[in-house]
Amino acid sequence: MVDPLLSAGRVLVAFVLVFMNGFFVAAEFAFVRIRSSSVERLADEGRAGAATLQEAVANLDDYLAVTQLGITISSLGLGWVGEPAVAALLEPVLAPLLPESALHFVAFALGFGIITFLHVVFGELAPKTIAIQEAERISLLVARPMKLFYYLFVPGIVVFNGTANFFTRLIGVSPASETEETLSEEEILTVLSRAGREGRVDAEEVHMIERVFELDDTTVREVMVPRPDVVSVPPDLPLADLRALAVETGHTRYPVVDESDDRVEGFVDVKDVLRAAESGQQEALAVDLAREVTIVPETTRVNDLLGAFQDEQSQMAAVIDEWGAFEGIVTVEDVVEVVVGQLRDEFDAAEREPTIERRDGRYLIDGGVPLTEVNDELDVAFESEDFGTIGGLILERLGRAPERGDRVTVDGYVLAVDAVDDARIERVVVERTDEGDPTDGELPTDEDPPADETARSGDADDRPGDGRTGTGDEDDRAKNDDADDAV
């Protein structure tokens, strides 16, 4: 007959072991869950235990080894002490009800079930949940006791970690560290997307952050105002004509381009024009007033362009191709719009929407709409090696100057030229080839333009900007309406 006091003492030890198991589980999950930035904030606030918590996070691998060793010892001790203790207490209660041959087995089974329940619920699940939900509070609470256990277990940790690392190296696996919490770009975007879906981060903020990551993959060519839409001036343009042009177009900066060799000699700021006129420099030419302009290749990444703007304290850059020919301009506003979307002010012309319109089973698309936007809207995968717009894709396939009515077939779609401006494709009609013979029926005519054509045909020059015309919108139709109000 087992002494009841001894059994009760063992049960008490079992409860202590369940508590210790829960303590180590809570410490493990809290230390893993809490972020380094949160630990630094707690230390700056002077919270009790924050300094010790900093030390624990800085040596996270060792402290996690302490928790794992503590969990192992507690679990083994619980199985060694707890089950026999509970079984011994149950046997006197079950003796009148069961034959002696079955008594020990039933008491053992019940004791094992009770200890397992206590271990799993109070030694594992509950502490884990609390630690995940209250990582900061639990981390501060357990930091100091964990430091004591760290010093107590450190000899065993050294032996166990060294032995484990030795055997993992034998099979070609390098030791891993829990402190390596750096996320890849894909992981960050996945976390952001999930946070947006769960409503923890505003959807527009998620989209903006995603577009920031795209800056490294976006070239200047994709965001620039193409040359046909730029109001440039020759070097020998007189001051009087410069002033008249500024009044007429309302732009802020005008690239000075030598048409003879397609070389950019700088840009004229409208403020310099006004100062020259005020000071009586009537004989001044555009080249005399020109300021140095930042020049970047069209393949420059947008994030690198931002760095150039900061280094050179400029607001506008001239874009050149691989032969040094002037291709267009790009401004700080153009770059910002990649992230935040279209920016407009009270001087901008009315917004032209939609740039992609579905009508009678067909799509009417501005020639300057980027292929990425077309692909998203039509759920297709149009690609071009040298062009980034739907109009450029048609030019690439045609291999010559386009004419109204020209058609090309791409991935099961017919792309038809509906409107041109010189060699520039203004509007495209897109329809699937499996929806009937694309030659049947007539394309929309100029006599019956789509709703957005009226806005497109308007004079878009009556707005401020960086030397942009309103004659077309092939490479970036929205950018033609932008204003540059930077000082």
User: DSSP of 334-351, one letter per residue?
Assistant: HHHHHHH-----TTSPPP
| DSSP state at residue 445 | P
Within 34-182, where are the H helices? Answer: 36-44, 50-58, 60-77, 83-94, 100-120, 126-133, 135-170
**Whole-number pLDDT of residue 480:** 40
pLDDT confidence of residue 71 = 94
Residues, the chain: 487
Element (H, E) at 226: strand 225-226
Residue 269 pLDDT: 92
As annotated, the residues of the chain forming the CATH 3.30.465.10 domain(s) are 356-457
Cα(255)–Cα(267) distance, integer angstroms: 4
Q: Are strands 294-297 and 316-320 parallel, antiparallel or unpaired?
A: parallel
Kindly state the DSSP code that residue 200 receives in the 8-state scheme: S
Burial class (CB in 10 A: 0-12, 13-18, 19+), 281: middle
Q: Could you tell me where in the chain the CATH 3.10.580.10 domains are found?
A: 220-340
State the fold for domain 356-457. Answer: 3.30.465
pLDDT at residue 129 in the model? 94
CB atoms within 10 A of CB 237: 19
Residue 76 is predicted with a pLDDT of 92
**CATH number, domain 220-340:** 3.10.580.10
Grouped pLDDT means (10 residues each) for the chain, 487 residues: 68 90 95 86 87 88 90 90 78 75 80 88 94 92 93 87 85 68 75 84 85 85 86 91 89 88 88 90 89 91 90 90 88 86 62 67 85 85 83 88 90 90 86 59 43 37 47 40 38
Closest C-alpha to 139, from 217, 63, 223, 240: 63
8 A C-beta contact, residue 387 and residue 415: no
